[in-house]
Structure 1
Amino acid sequence: MQLIDIGVNLTHPSFAEQREALLTRAYAAGVCQMLLTGTSLEESAHALDLCRQLDASGRRLFSTAGVHPHDASSWNSASVNELKALLKQPQVRAVGECGLDFNRDFSPRPAQEKALEEQLALAVELQMPVFLHERDADERLLAILRDYRDRLPAAVVHCFTGEKRALFAYLDMDLHIGITGWICDERRGSHLHPLVREIPEGRLMLESDSPFLLPRSLRPKPKNGRNEPAFLGEVLREVARHRGESPERLAAHSSACARQFFGLPTLDETEGK
């Protein structure tokens, strides 16, 4: 059984001393390919460097490149060309993480919207899929996306945590949905239990979003409290349970979806271990 983790924050400082060991554990757990998330120009360049350093085969680690809404204040006239140069590298498979965050508002909303629109325009120009972030901003995100969606090859709302209304609106716009360990959180994620069965095959992908969102249902829990790709199987089991399908079936179609979305190579069984 092969799994693809579409969201790993491998540039996070907490992983600095153990990236090789983390990847070894992930591969042993069946997570055969990963997308390393870029959240700023600097972090996107770092994610690309890690792909090159840690995956000599060029078949397991890939990345995204973009500017997160938290960092939208840093977006300026030079950012487009810097980002375009990153997006032209073969390991980089999507524009993002970009989007809107009206929950924390770490950057002013007009700055978030400007950075998002210019990144969507780049995705259209380069014909690349988009890795989207959204918190408390689904209606505004949908309004902006409407102007670009017909010209975009694909887009995924990563770490979906919203309500039924938002999910159905995203699906109606032919977006993909990424599900994380949020669904394993009995305090705030149980509303996702009936919703995940509404996501069609071919539109659903799984992600750890590590080191964040350690699945609360995981046993035993790591002493450091840090999530990592090796724990993606816990998300798989929880999503499969609420979709009423086997983990093997879910792994097969969610990974096939991720492989198509990001244009990843198919691995044979010996490569997947």
Structure 2
Amino acid sequence: MKTLVLGSTGLLGQAVAEEARRRGHLLGEAARRNAPIALDIADEEALCKTLEAEKPDLVFNCAALSEIDACERAPLDAWNMNARPLAFLAAWARESGGKLIHVSTDQYFTEGGKQPHDETAPVSFVNEYARTKFAGEGFALTAAGALVLRTSIVGIRGWEKPTLAEWAIGVAENDLAATLFSDAWSSSIDVASFARAAFDMAEVGASGLYNLAASEIYTKEDFVREIARQLGHTLTAATSGSVQGLATTRAHCLGLDVRRAEQILKYKLPGLSEVVACVLHKYNEKSS
């Protein structure tokens, strides 16, 4: 099988490419920079030419403008990366018979605290990131066999701006002063576990919209403190705080109900301690 990973140099794209190689896929890796295939998916002509040249059996779309503040500053850029390309990817899937896996988001829920949200839960759009990602879902699902996965991911990227996990490790190792959000709920999953489960779902023919995330809902504060615990450090300078004070409004009740995905997978998705253990394993690998 030939798999084309879009956004292959990003946090998730690296893990997806690694998992594809592990499974023996013939791999194409495309991104705006530092990838074997130079591609900006906002460029319709370049995207279509890449699909024609590569002739993949599977396209795994990890590319996105995911920085919420950047989407607010440049809503057209957000639309051109998060939504519009999916119309062309869905057309490719319909016309070629290829498989499309599209990675969406959990940034749709503003009520319910720790309550899990299933795939039919009403959504709210409090920022441009959420609006454009939801539109992308709709475009992708016009291809009958497309698999759209709502998620939140954590992991080690190793370049550019630190990820949440990389920042949290720095806080824990250096006992830094930090505000830890006690009211920002999520079910973030480590990228390696996500990639493995996504390919497992595709291999059994899953299609449509699914939540694919951790099996446990926890706060951003819980995540940082679990990292500190597993590293054997005590946080003395960090304090609890609220996500409500951020400049751009964010959805913050982001727990996902993953039972439908687990039924397809026939195994349980990881909880908080397993997610953190996987993140730290990758951190130690990259550090050695």
Asked if Structure 1 and Structure 2 have the same fold, meaning a TM-score greater than 0.5 normalized by the shorter chain, the answer is no
Q: Give TM-score, length-normalised by structure 1.
A: 0.37
User: Highest Rg: 1 or 2?
Assistant: 2
After TM superposition, the score normalised by the length of structure 2 is 0.36
